[in-house]
Amino acid sequence: MTNSFPTYFEAQQWASFCLKTAQLPTDSARFLLLGLTRLNQTQLLIHYRDPMPSDLYQAYRAAVKRVVAGEPAQYVLGRAPFYGLDLTVNPAVLIPRVETEELVDWILTDYQDAQTITVLDVGTGSGAIALALKHEQRHWQVSASDVSAAALTVARTNAAHLGLAVDFYESDLLKAVPATPFDIIVSNPPYIAHAEESVMDASVLNYEPRGALFAAHDGLALYEQLAATVASHLTPSGRLYLEFGYHQGSALQQLFRKAMPHAEVTVRQDMAGHDRMLRVINHE
């Protein structure tokens, strides 16, 4: 590859080599190229043999070097995909994970024929879950909360960019949200135990917000708070949906069955076969 006017294909090959050498996923090479060029996959293929403009190539090289140095590609671009949406992200919010899309799928499947539904996304971060649900079900009344004012700024930016009407509240879990009960409360809260830091990816530890990652009591602290308070915020047949760490399913089942003895508690596996989601159906 020449350094002056490489083709799009040559530039991507160079980036893949750099990432592979750094023992990082090589799919970031295409992700960065698509993001910087604003091309889709088909358009990129059409331009593969064309020389890259020099300014674009320099920007691409700089982006690749940041990723090789450990920065997540989504933060480098300032954007991340989630459930077909293009979301703004920065280090104030977690990068949305594809596993969380399965939680959104579960809710949409359970309520596919429902019309007037009220939803609260607790710990919304970038707004990913709330905005995905609102995008798929425009007639639902969706609210979202987060304890972080910086995260809410990102979420509001995403809602405005996507033209989706979601109400946002700065709240520590349920403490400052509207008192009106919701049909659906969903949350993907911090659930990583501090003891797990030693086995975590360095890019996550160095760049993603620690307050959105870790929780006390072996990662269960926020679930314990929700279990003690959520019932009064649900309608009589309302449902709570949670994402959790793959080894926490049994503990959470016991926690919610004790806190809400009349509720129906169901654990669901993700596509990899790990227990990762919990549904609690309120029965009053």
179 phi, psi to nearest 5 deg? -75, -15
Q: Do 25 and 74 form a contact (C-beta atoms < 8 A)?
A: no
| Mode of pairing for the β-strands spanning 141-146 and 79-82 | unpaired
Which parts are annotated binding residues for S-adenosyl-L-methionine? Answer: 123-127, 146, 188
Give CA–CA dist 27/73, Å, rounded. Answer: 10
Give CA–CA dist 254/7, Å, rounded. Answer: 57
Give CA–CA dist 43/34, Å, rounded. Answer: 9
Which parts are annotated binding residues for substrate? Answer: 188-191
Which parts are annotated binding residues? Answer: 123-127, 146, 188-191
Q: Do 283 and 235 form a contact (C-beta atoms < 8 A)?
A: no
